[in-house]
Amino acid sequence: MVSHCAAAALWGFPGFAPGSIELSVPRARWRARGHIVHRPMPLARADVTKIDGIPVTTVARTLIDIAGVAPAGVLEEALDDALHRKLVTVARLRRRIQETGCRGRRGSGVLADLVGARHASRKVPQSVFETRLLRVLRGAGFPPPAIQHKIRTRAGLAVLDFAYVEHRVAIEADGFQWHSSRQQWDHDRARRNALTVLGWTVIHVTWLQLRDRPDEVVEAIRAVVSRALP
C-alpha cells in the first residue's frame, strides 16, 4: 500500500507533493526505479484504507510514519491540516500512537508532543500560515491565544484568527487573498471600527512579514500586549 510521504501527498497534506512512489510491504526496505519500499511496523487493519481504490495508510498511520522523515515544522503543519479538515481526531491519534507502540522510533516523541499539545475541544489553525504564526508566538514565549474567537459587534459577528481576550488584542493572519469586492472592503473596515469601539486592538500580520521579519511581528505584538496590561 502507499505510505509515508507518498501517502501524505495523496491525503493532500501541505509540504508533500507527488513524487517517488513509496510502498509498505513485508520486505526489507529498498530503492529501485524511483520506488521506495518500506518494511514498516506491523500494519493493523485500522491502519489501512483506500483513496479512489488505491490502498493507502490511514491519516493517523501516515502521520506516525512521516514523523520519522519530515522536519518537525512540516509535521506540525500536516497535523494541523488533518485536524482542521477533520480527517482525524486528537483522540484517534493518541490511541494509535499508544497502540502502535512506536516509543523509541524516530520522530515518535515529536509527534506525541505535538498531539499532546492539542486538545479535543480546542480549535486548530485553519492554514499553514496560521500554524507558522502560532509557532512564532510559542517560540517567543507567548501563551497560547484563543483561536477563531467570536465577538458580537454592531457590525455583526467578528471571528478573529487569534485573540488574547484578557488584553483585547486580536491578531489577524492576512494571506494573499484580495478583497473580492468594494462591499467586502467596506465590511472589513466596519468590522475593524466596531472592534475598536469595543476596546480591541487589531494587529495584521502578512505572510512576507512572518517569513522575512518574524522578530518585527513579535515585537509589535509584545508592545501592544504590554500596553494592554492593567
pLDDT digits (tens, 9 = 90+) for 25-80: 765 555 555 566 666 556 778 899 999 999 999 999 999 999 989 999 999 999 99
Structural domain including 13 reads 4-116
**Cα(118)–Cα(166) distance, integer angstroms:** 21
Asked whether residue 123 carries a pLDDT value surpassing 80, the answer given is yes
pLDDT > 90 fraction of the chain, expressed in percent and rounded = 54
Judgement on whether residues 91 and 151 belong to the same structural domain of the protein = no
* Residue 135: burial class (beta carbons within 10 Å; 0-12, 13-18, 19+): middle
Cell of 54: 488505491
Do 91 and 172 fall within a single domain? no
Mean pLDDT across the chain: 85
Alpha-carbon distances of 70 from 7, 13, 64, 106, 133, rounded to whole Å: 13, 12, 10, 10, 19
Does residue 136 fall inside a structural domain? yes
Q: Write the pLDDT tens digit of every residue in 198-212.
A: 999 999 999 999 999
Check pLDDT > 50 for residue 178. Answer: no
**Same domain as 96, residue 10:** yes
Q: Is residue 123 part of a domain?
A: no
Residues 101, 53, single domain; the answer is yes
In a domain, 122, yes or no: no
CATH code of 154's domain? 3.40.960.10
pTM for the model stands at 0.81
Instruction: State how far the alpha carbon of 187 is from the alpha carbons of 111, 157, 180, 182, 190, in Å.
Output: 40, 11, 11, 9, 5
Residue 42: the pLDDT is 64
Judgement on whether residues 106 and 206 belong to the same structural domain of the protein: no
- Specify whether 103 is located in the same domain as 25: yes
Residue keyed to cell 502560532: 134
Per-residue pLDDT reduced to its tens digit, 84-112: 999 999 999 998 888 876 655 777 889 99
